[in-house]
Amino acid sequence: MKLYFAPMEGITSYTYRNTHKEFFGGCDAYFAPFISPSENERVSERHFRDILPDNNKDIYVVPQTLTNKSEYVLMFERQVEKIGYKEYNINLGCPSGTVVKKGKGSGFLKDPEGVDRFLDEVFEKSNLDISVKTRIGYSSGTEMEKLTKIYNKYSLKELIIHPRVREAMYTGEPDMEVFRKAYESSENTVCYNGNIFTAEDFNNVCAEYKNLESVMIGRGAIVNPAIFREIKGGRGVEEKELAEFTLLLAERYMKLLKSEVFTLKKLKEIWMYMLWNFSEDKKLIKSVKKTNSLTDFKDIIKGL
């Protein structure tokens, strides 16, 4: 069973990935947040800094692109191949309003024929392994039957399925009945993604889908960065460990961003998830949310 850390824009950058690997490890691959090439946006070294091999030493990273134009995917492919990558992921799942409005991510799923043409053009000229991360439709899970037939036409390295429609965003329960149908009818290797917050959640999914070869975890791994270690039989997360992890992140973000304001913003974004571990500690929750000082924030975390 392979374990993947899902890409989360603004959070799982190379700084976070490297620090996570040092402290917790346990996952087999980190999927990088998407790079979105477009006609008006030249894909420069700045865009690729996050996936440069020198910034991702000793970890396995899968680059991800988000676009609805095959020529942009192939441009992206040439650039990632040039820096040493042998595979990448196409994002057809992002539910963000700004992304969907442009017909990208899960917004592209409204046009399954367009998705088919897009993939046909990409696979005709591609030299690398390609996985696809998808939702089960835009507004209804019934759309997944048609989408699965389209995906079956192409030799994907993996089909990563998040069993929610775009309109559900991250609310409600994943539609496991739709997932089951896609899992059973897919001719590509299927990876499950969605609502895994504990090792028990993981075990339940694996027990239900016995031939599943990989699972991707996103929010659950930010909440509990030790989740991959736990799944593999290691110890659970410890408060002292979370504190040390956070303080090292603070040091590295400061070195990179050279701004206490931006560093604090990054750390608080991460801690909006990690506070779920302290749901009964109202004082800690209030302190983290209210502080506007990096020094004060670090003092709060040291208190753990």
The tens digit of pLDDT for each residue in 19-28 reads 999 999 999 9
**% the chain with pLDDT above 70:** 97
Q: What is the pLDDT of residue 45?
A: 67
Helices and strands, number each (H, E), in the chain = 14, 9
What count of Cα atoms within 13 Å lies in the side-chain half-sphere of residue 152? 12
Beta strand spans in the chain (E)? 2-5, 29-31, 61-62, 64-65, 87-92, 129-135, 159-162, 190-193, 214-217
Q: What is the pLDDT of residue 267?
A: 98
pTM equals: 0.95
Largest CA distance in the chain: 57
Helix (H) or strand (E) holding 234: none
Rounded Cα–Cα distance for residues 278 and 31 (Å)? 27
- 92 within 8 A of 123, measured Cβ to Cβ: no
pLDDT per position as a tens digit, 78-103: 999 999 999 999 999 999 999 999 99
**Residue ranges of the chain with per-residue pLDDT less than 70:** 38-46
Q: CA nearest 120: which of 130, 105, 110, 135?
A: 130
Q: What is the pLDDT of residue 304?
A: 87
Q: What is the pLDDT of residue 43?
A: 56
pLDDT per position as a tens digit, 10-64: 999 999 999 999 999 999 999 999 999 865 555 556 678 999 999 998 999 999 9
What is the residue whose two structure tokens read 């989360």?
8
Q: What is the pLDDT of residue 37?
A: 82
